[in-house]
């Protein structure tokens, strides 16, 4: 069980800059360009600085390509995921993993006072769990070898 908090994950991310976003009126093509430029698999969709959806590569594949829509003509708002699951900075890695597993998605916006303050991906969560387990293993090895500080 991981007790690491989302706040800690966000602080440890190598780039704590802006969360990449698009507007519902933007074209899907523009959203894809932003995803490619930023090397991300999903974007939050903001309207008047308020979270209204998520646009992911999965949304593109299932709601644009498979339906024969044109990405240069289709608005993000027409294909985005509207019911976005979110977390707050005080949620744990385990909370996030459970929500992602239950919802079968890989990106989770972090809201504080209804404002997006970050996004965590499944990769962020897995990295945090691996780091925590490595630390615990190191502590146990130290204890077993007798250098556990007693």
pLDDT grade, residue 113 (50/70/90)? very high
What pLDDT is attached to residue 104?
A: 92
**4 vs 74, more confident:** 74
Q: Is the pLDDT of residue 150 over 60?
A: no
Average the pLDDT over 55-70 and give the result.
95
Structural domain boundaries, residue 38: 6-144
Instruction: State both tokens at 39.
Output: 């090397």
Q: What does pTM read for this prediction?
A: 0.82
State how far the Cα of 22 lies from the Cα of 70, in Å rounded to an integer. 18
Average the pLDDT over 130-138 and give the result.
79
Q: What is the pLDDT of residues 14-42, one digit of tens each?
A: 765 678 999 999 999 999 999 999 999 99
**124 vs 147, more confident:** 124
74, part of any domain: yes
CATH of the domain at 71: 3.10.580.10
What pLDDT is attached to residue 136?
A: 76
* Tally of domains in the chain: 1
Average the pLDDT over 51-62 and give the result.
96
What pLDDT is attached to residue 64?
A: 96
Instruction: State both tokens at 126.
Output: 């897995």
Average the pLDDT over 124-136 and give the result.
84
Residue with tokens 């007693």: 150
Q: What is the mean pLDDT of the chain?
A: 90
- Can you tell me whether residue 35 is helix, strand or coil? helix
Strand order in the sheet with 21-22: 21-22, 42-47, 50-56
């Amino acid at each position: 069980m991981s007790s690491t908090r989302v706040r800690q994950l966000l602080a440890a991310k190598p780039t704590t800059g802006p969360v990449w976003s698009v507007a519902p009126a933007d074209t899907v093509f523009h959203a894809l360009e932003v995803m490619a430029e930023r090397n991300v698999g999903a974007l939050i969709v903001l309207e008047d600085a308020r979270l209204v959806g998520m646009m992911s590569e999965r949304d593109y594949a299932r709601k644009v390509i498979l339906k024969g829509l044109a990405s240069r003509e289709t608005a993000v708002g027409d294909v985005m995921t509207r019911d976005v699951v979110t977390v707050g900075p005080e949620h744990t890695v385990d909370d996030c993993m459970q929500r992602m597993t239950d919802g079968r998605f890989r990106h989770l916006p972090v809201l504080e006072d209804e404002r997006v303050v970050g996004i965590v991906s499944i990769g962020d969560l897995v990295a945090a769990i691996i780091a925590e387990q490595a630390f615990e293993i190191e502590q146990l090895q130290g204890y077993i070898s007798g250098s556990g500080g007693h």
